[in-house]
């Protein structure tokens, strides 16, 4: 794995600029689907990418979402095609230092990145490509949605009433309109997933400050919490195999809103995507391994 180590490169800015570039093209990275293309994975380790790396790679819209580094392609007996451009993926590098006074080992982390290429950008041996198949779930998407909701650990109370969905942190309560109020079951579960992601920020769960501090509507923390809920819901949609509803006629305003927010805070997208991944993992009752190579997003 070839790693960029030059300290003058601002990794936050590199990632932020890529996300903004996609939004300016009308592509919302966290609304991309891996349906039919497979979840983005490393070809060698077969591990899925997480957090911001997931969205960066999905936004490239390849037909097969296996990726690898230049060094990995070479080690497999292949090569990257001439003129192909790489995509950065980020990770946290841990440094250890002994405290001279207490002799305790203290840790610090630095955000780094390395570049990957899609398998279509490479010339690889046929036997290697045979292991790059796309797995399809045989379960019905709505059944998967129901299973996700039913099996969420320590889930909040869910009540069906009224015509507006919302989450009440102080009561740990989700209020949802009845299913018949939505255009279909997929729209219902997309909305419910959004509220469930909000609920993971409760003190009894992930204790996310953007939720528990009751930040005012329109504030930066409020915007970050909404992005966490939106990204987390999109992730759960993809796990279940349902489509995220398309942007409405105000999509230009939606895009410009996020472009402005990201330009004002280069760290927003990294922290929100990491929090969304943690929220989705909590709902799915997934405990990520703590191996260094798994630390590929902020907060992992």
Which string of DSSP letters, residue by residue, matches 262-291?
A: HHH-TTHHHHHHHHHHHHHHHHTT------
Q: Is residue 200 part of a domain?
A: yes
From the list 33, 29, 19, the residue with the least C-alpha distance to 88 is 19
Q: Is residue 187 part of a domain?
A: yes
Give the pLDDT score at 141.
Answer: 92
| CA 63 to centroid of chain Cα atoms | 19
What residue numbers bound the domain in which 232 lies? 3-294
| Contacting residues for 178 by C-beta, under 8 A, at least 6 apart | 160, 161
| Contacting residues for 19 by C-beta, under 8 A, at least 6 apart | 29, 52, 55, 56, 59, 262, 269
Query: Average pLDDT of each block of 10 consecutive residues along the chain (300 residues)?
Result: 52 95 93 88 94 95 96 97 97 85 84 95 92 76 96 97 95 96 94 98 95 80 93 94 72 90 94 96 79 40
| Contacting residues for 73 by C-beta, under 8 A, at least 6 apart | 79, 80, 117, 122, 124
Give the integer Cα–Cα distance in Å for 230 and 247.
12
pTM: 0.87
Q: Is residue 300 part of a domain?
A: no
300 close to 92: Cβ distance less than 8 angstroms: yes
270 close to 15: Cβ distance less than 8 angstroms: yes
- Total number of domains in the chain: 1
Give the pLDDT score at 170.
Answer: 94
Q: Is residue 299 part of a domain?
A: no
In this structure, what DSSP letter does residue 119 have? G
């Amino acid at each position: 794995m070839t790693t960029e180590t030059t300290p003058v490169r601002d990794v936050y800015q590199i990632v932020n600029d890529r996300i903004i570039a996609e939004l300016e093209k009308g592509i919302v990275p966290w609304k991309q689907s891996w349906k039919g293309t497979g979840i983005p994975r490393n070809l060698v380790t077969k591990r899925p990418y997480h957090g911001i790396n997931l969205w960066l790679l999905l936004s490239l819209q390849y037909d097969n979402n296996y990726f690898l580094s230049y060094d990995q392609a070479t080690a497999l007996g292949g090569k990257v095609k001439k003129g192909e451009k790489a995509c950065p993926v980020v990770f946290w590098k841990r440094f250890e230092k002994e405290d001279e006074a207490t002799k305790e080992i203290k840790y610090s982390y630095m955000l780094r990145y390395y570049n990957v290429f899609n398998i279509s950008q490479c010339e690889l041996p046929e036997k290697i490509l045979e292991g790059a198949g796309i797995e399809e779930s045989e379960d019905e998407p709505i059944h998967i949605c129901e299973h996700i909701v039913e099996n969420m650990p320590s889930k909040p109370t869910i009540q069906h009433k009224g015509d507006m969905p919302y989450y009440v942190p102080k009561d740990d309560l989700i209020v949802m309109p009845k299913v018949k109020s939505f255009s279909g079951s997929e729209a219902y579960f997309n909305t419910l997933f959004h509220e469930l992601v909000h609920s993971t920020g409760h003190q009894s769960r992930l204790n996310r400050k953007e939720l528990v501090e009751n930040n005012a509507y329109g504030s930066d923390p409020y915007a970050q919490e909404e992005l966490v809920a939106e990204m987390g819901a999109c992730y759960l949609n993809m796990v279940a195999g349902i489509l995220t509803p398309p942007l409405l006629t105000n999509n230009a305003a939606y895009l410009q809103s996020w472009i402005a927010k990201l330009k004002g805070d280069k760290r927003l997208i990294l922290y929100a995507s990491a929090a969304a991944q943690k929220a989705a993992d909590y709902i799915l009752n997934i405990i990520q391994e703590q191996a260094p190579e798994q630390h590929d997003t902020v907060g992992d």
